[in-house]
Chain A
């Protein structure tokens, strides 16, 4: 079987994110990293391969994004993917969830995966939706925020938490599954794997290569329009203290609780 792992390049967690006032898009300059949630998807693919319940022929890392996104693919390969595919085209810039989902689905179609894995959310966009958008385009069943996967020959038994507790769902493959961070502890790549990542096959495609027209993606293919950005309602910032001397810190906490009559 063939597993495709959708990955995304996101601003590094330590970078202060900002919106470009001109384009009203996320400023994606500065340090970048592989979306941490997607590392759980790659780890899940590796565990399926190593579990031996099914034969995994190939794990392919798949992304769309500017040329810098190859670094996210290199990381994905260092974590265990065999090769990677990059959809890169100026026409994609400014794609919303609707256009991004279509583009990724077209790209994935060209790979014919048995299973698509991705992180439940991206560190920057916090959309939670891409997996389910892609699944409907691919006409595949899907489940999001999955925290346990048991794999059999043609079906997956998945667990996830929903509104009323834990659900167990059997999903036939091919399928699209987004995973939560509780599913596994991603491994650290070995130095050898990091060094070797750039040598693994990386296929770069333009939109025409996957059957997309320019008006289906980017701003032209988007169905939402950001009218403006505003600061959130002002909230009185709380007091933050550093614990240097714990006895003193505890005294301060007690005084704060006392003032609010919370110790009774």
Chain B
């Protein structure tokens, strides 16, 4: 049976990650084309209503490993490897996200399965799945097939659209899994700590994104002043959030927020894939960066090669003057 097993990530309180819901939707569609079923895996304390919740997106079954803690990959590898072994699922699918990479990688080793990552599209061809994966800084798309089973597919952030195609309740099946010895050797001390103040960037029409090119923490005020003049908010890249320059709540991209404002003004942001996936659907993208080879110039609408420390203050001033004039 050409079934597809999908990992459904949640926050520990039963709120599922929307990339996981996208992956379930995608799996349901593909399983239909292959003539198999899509099943979801959840770990941790999740209520019985999970069947209805994930069934809406097309999961036929939900395997629940209640005794396994959510948040660390290796115990979930144990769960998924057991399910694939017992039920013969042909593919494992993950939505974009850090844990998906880790679990998928673990399954690759455990089951000697092929793996593709950063996948943007999956196609069913002659009863098998082919993963489409951008390579070389998104300058080419590789069509990748699997040799043998299982095939492991790790999606790029926001690659799979959410679709409530499910017709009914998914059956909830409780599973008991004995963990591998090494899976018990990592222990979560604290999960999901949001560092810095809680700020809302998702509702802003205009976002000024600040990256490492700002040079130092204090220079975020350049971005803040510009955002204020334009009536927008300030967002940040992962690099500067990890460096402690700006709050996590303002972070865009992989392991951060996904936004699509009317204007995204990127100041000192190179445009690495991890950032791009969180903002590429913005209506207008304006980039200021001193490196003419920065990837962001490949996908912005207006690119300015120059020193943001010179340009941004003058731009702020000009916008203020125009608004008051």
Residue of B nearest to A17 (CB): B136
- A170 to B319 alpha-carbon distance, docked (Å): 49
CB pair B187–A257 under 8 Å, yes or no, is no
- Whether B77 sits at the interface, judged by CB under 8 Å, is yes
Contacts of A250 in B (CB 8 A): 311, 314-315, 318
The winner among B130, B148, B284 for most chain A CB atoms within 10 A is B284
On whether A246 and B102 interact (CB within 8 A), knowing A98-B114, A126-B118, A226-B144, the answer reads no
Contacts of B180 in A (CB 8 A): 139
Contact indicator per residue, chain B 284-325, by CB within 8 Å of chain A (1) or not (0): 111000001100011111111111001100110011001100
Task: Report yes or no: A19 in contact with B305, Cβ–Cβ below 8 A.
Answer: no
**By the criterion CB–CB under 8 Å, are B186 and A169 in contact?**
yes
State the CA gap A242–B303 with chains docked (Å).
8
The interface stretch among A65-73, A82-90, A229-237 is A229-237
Within 8 A of B (CB), among A135-154: 135-137, 139-145, 147
Q: Return chain B residues, CB-CB under 8 Å to A257.
A: 263, 286, 319
Tell yes or no: B109 within 8 A of A by CB. Answer: yes
Separation of A179 and B113 alpha carbons in the complex (Å): 25
Contacts A132-B106, A139-B182, A224-B115 given; indicate if A238 touches B300 (C-beta within 8 A).
yes
Alpha-carbon gap, A161 to B101, bound state (A): 14
Residues A241 and B144 in contact in the complex (CB < 8 Å), given A98-B108, A98-B115, A161-B255: no
Which of B28-36, B160-168, B238-246 lies at the interface with chain A? Answer: B238-246
Whether the Cβ atoms of B238 and A128 lie closer than 8 Å is no
List A contacts of B38 (CB < 8 A).
none
Interface string of A232-264 (1 = CB under 8 A from B): 100101111111001101110110110010111
Please determine whether A239 and B302 come into contact, CB atoms closer than 8 angstroms.
yes
Q: CB of A213 within 8 A of chain B? A: no
CA–CA, A248 to B186, complex, Å? 56
Q: Once the chains bind, are B242 and A180 in contact (CB under 8 Å)? A: yes
Which residues in chain A, 1-50, are within 8 Å of chain B measured between CB atoms?
14, 17-19, 24, 26
Q: How far is the CA of A182 from the CA of B113 in the complex (A)?
A: 32
* Given A227-B130, A246-B311, A263-B323, A238 and B99 contact (CB-CB distance below 8 Å): no
* CB closest chain-A residue, reference B130: A227
Task: A102 to B115: give the CA distance in the assembly, Å.
Answer: 13
Secondary structure dominating the interface of B = mixed
Q: Count contacts on A: residues with CB < 8 A to the other chain.
A: 83
The residues of A that contact B189 with a CB separation of less than 8 Å are 157, 168-170
How far apart are A136's CB and chain B's nearest CB, in angstroms? Answer: 4
In the bound complex, residues from chain A placing their C-beta under 8 Å from that of B130 are 227
Q: Which residues of A contact B182 (CB under 8 A)?
A: 135-136, 139-141
Indicate if B231 sits at the interface (CB-CB under 8 A). Answer: yes
Whether A101 lies near B108 (C-beta < 8 A) is yes
Say how far A161's CB is from chain B's closest CB, in angstroms. 5
Q: What residues of chain B lie closer than 8 Å to A19, measured between beta carbons?
A: 135-136, 140, 142
A sample of 23 inter-chain contacts (CB < 8 A) reads A17-B136, A17-B139, A18-B136, A124-B136, A126-B118, A128-B101, A128-B105, A128-B117, A132-B73, A141-B186, A161-B238, A165-B191, A165-B194, A167-B191, A170-B186, A172-B185, A223-B113, A231-B139, A239-B302, A254-B315, A256-B302, A262-B206, A262-B263
User: Which residues of A does B touch, CB under 8 Å?
Assistant: 14, 17-19, 24, 26, 96-98, 101-102, 105, 124, 126-137, 139-145, 147, 157, 160-172, 175, 180-182, 222-232, 235, 237-243, 246-247, 249-251, 253-254, 256-257, 260, 262-264
User: Given A130-B105, A136-B105, A262-B230, 8 more contacts at CB 8 Å?
Assistant: A129-B102, A139-B180, A167-B192, A169-B72, A232-B139, A260-B284, A262-B262, A263-B230
